[in-house]
Structures are given as C-alpha cells and as structure tokens.
Amino acid sequence: MHAIKVVFLLILTLAFMRLISWAFGWILYVWTGRITAWQSLSANLASLGLFVGFLFWNLMPNEPFDFAALVFGVVVYAGCFVTDLRWLPWHRQAGKRMIHVP
C-alpha cells in the first residue's frame, strides 16, 4: 500500500508541475499570439523558479537545501521543454510545427 501511495503522489506532483509549466506557456502565447522556443524555455524556467521557491519556503529552520529535489525539478522541466517543442495543448493542428523557431 505504501508503494501505491508513493507512486500516486509522484504522479500528482508531476501533473501539477506540468500544469504550472503549461500555464506560464499559455500566458506567453496569449500575450504574443504565438510561442517560440525561447518563450517555451522561459515558461519552463519560470516554473522551475517557482518550484525552487517552494522548496525554500518549505525548509525548516537550519535544514539544508535539498539538491536532489532541485535536480528532480531540472530533469522534469527539461523534459517539459523538449515536449513543448513538439506538442502543446492549445495547438491542435496536425502536421503544423508547434514552436516557431526564428
């Protein structure tokens, strides 16, 4: 039962992180009318910054920073960026390049 709970919490965490990344990307898309690779990178870096801020906010007094969680966040948002280059939920046209590369 413990393993099921850990897997469920991991999936929930990944889903929440992905939704935050998409939210920043969608805001940039609404402001500019398109999304470039730089904007997608910016959205994922902003999400990573929010994640790191949460890690700092969640620290107990005199507790060291959890660098393993930071590496986890970097890996997750790097994967989100790579995925964003190929597919975004607000782009539904098949065969059209999702990210405009200048």
Q: Identify each DSSP E strand in 1-102 by its residue range.
A: none
Residue-wise pLDDT for 66-80, tens only, equals 999 999 999 999 999
- How many other C-beta atoms are found inside a 10 Å radius of the C-beta of residue 38? 13
Please report the pLDDT score of residue 37 as a whole number: 87
Residue 29, pLDDT score:
87
Please give the Cα distance from 46 to 7 (Å, whole number): 26
99/29 Cα distance (integer angstroms): 11
Distance CA 23, CA 79 (A): 16
- The pLDDT, as a whole number, for residue 92 is 60
Across 3-27, average pLDDT: 94
Whole-angstrom distance, CA of residue 86 vs CA of residue 81: 9
pTM of this prediction?
Answer: 0.82
pLDDT digits (tens, 9 = 90+) for 46-102: 999 999 999 999 999 999 999 999 999 999 999 999 998 888 777 665 445 555 555
